[in-house]
Amino acid sequence: MKKGLLLLFVITLARIGWSQAAGNTVYSGSRNRTSGVTTGTLSSVDPKDSSQNYFVEANVLMNVRADEYVAVFALAHEAPALSEANAKIGTQVNEFLASLGKLGVKTNDVFVDFISQNRVYDFVVADNTAKETQTGFEVKKNVAVRYKDRTLLDELLATAAKAGIFDLVKVEYVISDIPAQRENLLAEASRIIRKKEADHYRLFGVKKKPLEVYQEKYNAFFPTEMYSSYTAYETGEVYRGNMPVVTKRKTRTSYYDPLDPAEFDLIIGQAEGEPMVQLTLYLKLKCKGR
């Protein structure tokens, strides 16, 4: 080989057969989402009377479809004068609101949230000196749109784009009656604990006398916090020496990554790939052997 020739070492695509079955998510590494519940010792000795105490646990997950959704769009405008910046963003907001009305979105379902107004600075270079100077003002507002039909989001995005709005901040999932859902979780967790007690007596002859609810932990996981991402590609290695290397931009993929079902005694409502609010209850009952 001639002097200075770069040596390329191509990495063999050894994982192709695996990724065809598992999907490109293998590039994100192996990990499972958990509810954060850490189970404790299932038996202990109470120092008061030195009698054997037992714990019976239930961990229940409920997938709940949202009753409503709130899409939040961000707007920002700059101008030399503050009044001009306010006028520009006001015109854009009014255009967006008028278009929302044509989609059947009611005025009460839209909220315009003022975020900030700031001075904008830039540098002017003269006589080998870069001097920072105020060049104008920036005004920011958010528009929150509440809706019930989840398929409406595509139309909201198209309508926002027509108004020059391209920043969808987030989509919130709203559950109207979480206390009622928690009552269902408690009923199911209690049923599981009673069944475990009965199974222990039937299989092992172990009788337990409930003493107290030792731990009752509710939690809620919303789809906005349950997405993972990865970048899937294989590339070679190059001995660059002093030569600059320009890499190509790789596409980053995001996907809904719900809680690991393996850690739960019962799952109520199957998600089947649809992002849902995941409500959990970890119930731990302290019992005394008898």
- Between CA 16 and CA 160 the distance in angstroms is 40
Q: What are phi and psi of 198, to 5 degrees?
A: -65, -40
- Between CA 156 and CA 144 the distance in angstroms is 11
C-beta separation of 146 from 70 below 8 A: yes
List, as one string, the DSSP characters of 245-259: -PPPP--EEEEE--B
Written as six digits, the tokens of 239 are: 């001995």
pTM confidence score: 0.79
C-beta separation of 235 from 11 below 8 A: yes
The count of residues in the chain is 290
| Beta-carbon contacts of residue 123 (< 8 Å; ≥ 6 apart) | 130, 131, 132, 133
Find the angle CA(48)-CA(49)-CA(50) to the nearest 5 degrees.
100
pLDDT at residue 33, rounded to an integer:
66
pLDDT at residue 21, rounded to an integer:
46
Residue ranges, the chain, pLDDT below 70? 1-33, 38-51, 240
Q: With CA atoms as reference, report the closest residue to 92 among 120, 108, 70, 112.
A: 112
Find the angle CA(213)-CA(216)-CA(220) to the nearest 5 degrees.
165
List, as one string, the DSSP characters of 38-84: ----SEEE-TTT--EEEEEEEEEEEEE--SEEEEEEEEEEEESSHHH
pLDDT at residue 27, rounded to an integer:
60
- The CATH 3.30.70.2970 domain(s) of the chain lie at 68-174
Q: State the CB neighbour count (10 A cutoff) for residue 143.
A: 22
pLDDT at residue 23, rounded to an integer:
55
pLDDT at residue 239, rounded to an integer:
76
Q: With CA atoms as reference, report the closest residue to 145 among 108, 90, 195.
A: 108
Written as six digits, the tokens of 86 are: 């306010």
- Between CA 197 and CA 210 the distance in angstroms is 10
CATH 3.30.70.2970 is held by the domain 68-174: yes
